[in-house]
Amino acid sequence: MVMSDPLPPSLVEAPAEEAALAASRRLAAGVQIIEKNLETMPTSPGVYRMLSVKGDALYVGKAKNLKRRVVAYTRPDRLPVRLRRMIAETAAMEVVTTHTEVEALLLESNLIKRLAPRYNILLRDDKSFPYILVTGDHDWPQIVKHRGARSRKGAYFGPFASAGAVNQTLSALQRAFLLRSCSDSVFASRTRPCLLYQIKRCSAPCVARIDHGDYMALVDEARAFLSGHSQRIQRGLAARMEEASAALDYEQAAVYRDRIRALAHIQAHQDINPAEVEEADVVALHQAGGQTCIQVFFFRAGCNYGNRAYFPAHAQGEEAAEVMAAFLGQFYADKVPPREVLASIEPAEAAIVAAALSEKAGRKVAVLVPKRGDRRRLVEHALDNAREALGRRLAESGAQLRLLEGVGELFGLDGPPARIEVYDNSHIQGALAVGGMIVAGPEGLMKSAYRKFNIRSEDLTPGDDYGMMREVLSRRFKRALKDDPDRDRGLWPDLVLIDGGLGQLHAAAEVFADLGVEGVSLVSIAKGPDRNAGRERFFLPGREPFSLEPKDPVLYFLQRLRDEAHRFAIGTHRARRAKAIGQSLLDEVPGIGARRKKALLHHFGSAREVANAGLADLEAVDGISRAMAKKIYDHFHPQG
């Protein structure tokens, strides 16, 4: 064996020295930019933004004295590595002054939530909370679930932690108070009671089965119950039940009994209901493994409206008090804070945080760390939930990382893929074709990144799976080349997995070649003989097809991804097909425009019921003349 001489140490060290020198120059350039901005930096409160060369926000911060705060960035040797990297990437700065530090904190929280700067602690939460709304813009108020801006007049109760929690409560409230849940247009067009009246979940005010005064009494009772006066309402119902029973009006007594049971059902599902806590959010933080879980329990009107776990993104080693302060600021940026926030630890700058929340709510908001009593027990309960949720997440992420490492080794990647995109198509003989893309990474399925593609090409042969795949991938990667040409925004996959065989692989490779896409690994996964799971074959460019052992955990992981893509594509196709079917039944009737279609659907509830309706029923619809009713009836009954 011939041994080659080792490289001289100077040649080995040269690349490392050059990289260190380049990093030092970038850091010095960032410091210089900050020093230049300091020349005109005010000393008032405000918010500053560090911007990259592309204009993206790297970091958003607030300060009581902007100049005094920002000058710290000109001494990077005293800062952690994360902030030194941020300074090195800084190409410009923007400053907004405010009247007070409280205003600065509110502005900072809003900007962080909107811009998601890379170097800030980030609350990744794109879900709004559901509320219960008792409307106030109609003579006969309705009770409904509500999300989004409170633009409609009425009384809002919540927030509820999930749609399931609010749906359960709404169902019980309908049984307890018999308030309508239908839309105003349906209410106005009813000529007979609906099914909800038959099953005793509505008092049918639409057809005058209850007078206005009695109905408004039910509305007042519902508002009182949701406002925390549940015991008074239940005592009143119990007294009326006894009166009805004494008068031998057993039918009415049974109605009151059923309403009492419905209210008891709501309270039975509230879990813990401390007597001392009327309106509060319980916020508990637990850190482990460089990650944080924050559990929030919602208490309104003395009732527990559920809880939700959050996992804010931050650098390892971030102080818990800083994470808590950032979380509270961003969490309430688009929500009205309750009267009390019961926290497991005191947030950084607690007085400023409390003042900012008070200004946001328009009343005093207390941020407390309870030490004893019911409030402390609530915090400890939330803390236990945070600890358990983070433990589950760490276990799942550890297993996920091992699987991703296995995928990287199996397909010859440089390392574990940070982003896997999986594609599948769905259609019926080429009709209403859609493509689906699902995304997975170190934290599991990334459902906010899922995308659907309605196939647009008119020159495709029906059922041309290869042509559909070419269209989907072309649209996906043309957009990626436009929106993230430098691949530094996390929009590019390391691995593309396609449901199919060699033909689908060739179609994908052609798209990549046409667009000049490089550095993205392509793999197709084909079902085995007789479409048996466990006997899949994998196709890669330049390699012979191969299979894995049926019990291989990496195979099971890839099967789950393939099945999730299939589920997503099928679900998207079914939704598109259902929409098309729902439109076509009435759209095919000559002379049916938007107004008549709306009147028919409001009266009958669905296009299928219109098709089944008799001639006399059609004539009873507002805006449908005798001649038009005959035309509709003849369209759906051509032999009649």
Is a pLDDT exceeding 90 seen at residue 21?
no
**505 in Cβ contact with 411 (< 8 Å):** no
Max Cα–Cα distance, the chain, nearest Å: 111
Mean pLDDT of 371-376: 89
Token pair belonging to 630: 């005959």
Highest mean pLDDT among 174-178, 191-195, 367-371, 449-453: 367-371
Is a pLDDT exceeding 70 seen at residue 534?
no
* φ and ψ at residue 518, rounded to 5 degrees: -130, 160
Phi-psi region of 444 (alpha: psi -120 to 50; beta: other; left: phi over 0): left
Dihedral sign (CA 69, 72, 78, 81): positive
Three-class DSSP category at 284: strand
**Using 50, 70 and 90 to split pLDDT, how confident is the model at 20?**
confident
pLDDT for 579: 61
pLDDT for 532: 54
Domain spans in the chain, listed from the N-terminal domain onward: 23-115, 131-268, 280-392, 420-579, 588-636
Looking at this protein, which amino acid is placed at residue 21?
L
Asked if 280-392 and 420-579 have one fold, the answer is yes
**Using 50, 70 and 90 to split pLDDT, how confident is the model at 2?**
very low
Mean pLDDT of 401-417: 92
The matching CATH number, chosen from 3.40.1440.10, 3.60.21.10, 3.40.50.300, 3.30.450.20, for 23-115 is 3.40.1440.10
pLDDT for 538: 94
Q: Which residues pair with 137 in a beta bridge?
A: none
Highest mean pLDDT among 340-349, 371-380, 569-578: 340-349
- Homologous superfamily, domain 588-636: 5' to 3' exonuclease, C-terminal subdomain (1.10.150.20)
Dihedral sign (CA 509, 512, 513, 519): negative
User: Minimum mean pLDDT among 119-128, 193-202, 280-289, 440-449: which range?
Assistant: 119-128
Other CB atoms within 10 A of residue 7 CB? 10
pLDDT for 549: 87
Angle between helices 553-587 and 594-604 in degrees, nearest 10: 110
Dihedral sign (CA 402, 405, 406, 407): positive
Q: Can you tell me which residue has the tokens 């808590």?
A: 324
Rounded to whole angstroms, the Cα distance separating 137 from 140 reads 9
Q: For a pLDDT cut of 90, what percent of the chain falls above it?
A: 38
Angle between helices 350-361 and 101-115 in degrees, nearest 10: 80
Rounded to whole angstroms, the Cα distance separating 458 from 120 reads 46
Residues 6+ apart with CB under 8 A from 243: none
Quote the pTM value.
0.69
User: Which of the two residues, 78 and 494, has the higher pLDDT score?
Assistant: 494
Q: Can you tell me which residue has the tokens 């020295």?
A: 17
* φ and ψ at residue 102, rounded to 5 degrees: -65, -45
HSE-up of 371 (CA within 13 Å, CB side)?
Answer: 0
* φ and ψ at residue 516, rounded to 5 degrees: 75, 30
Angle (nearest 5°) at CA 576 between 572 and 581: 145
Residues 6+ apart with CB under 8 A from 293: 285, 286, 309, 310, 311, 386, 387, 389, 390, 393
Rounded to whole angstroms, the Cα distance separating 196 from 198 reads 5
**Using 50, 70 and 90 to split pLDDT, how confident is the model at 37?**
very high
The DSSP-derived string for 457-474 is -SSSPTT-HHHHHHHHHH
* 93-136 per-position pLDDT tens digit: 999 999 999 999 999 999 998 898 989 999 876 677 888 899 99
Is a pLDDT exceeding 70 seen at residue 230?
no
User: Minimum mean pLDDT among 506-520, 555-569, 599-613: which range?
Assistant: 599-613
- Domain 280-392 adopts which CATH fold? Nucleotidyltransferase; domain 5 (3.30.420)
Let me know if 258 is exposed, middle or buried by CB neighbors in 10 A (0-12, 13-18, 19+): middle
Is a pLDDT exceeding 90 seen at residue 407?
yes
pLDDT for 270: 47
CATH code assigned to 420-579: 3.30.420.340
Mean pLDDT of 313-339: 91
* φ and ψ at residue 317, rounded to 5 degrees: 85, 0
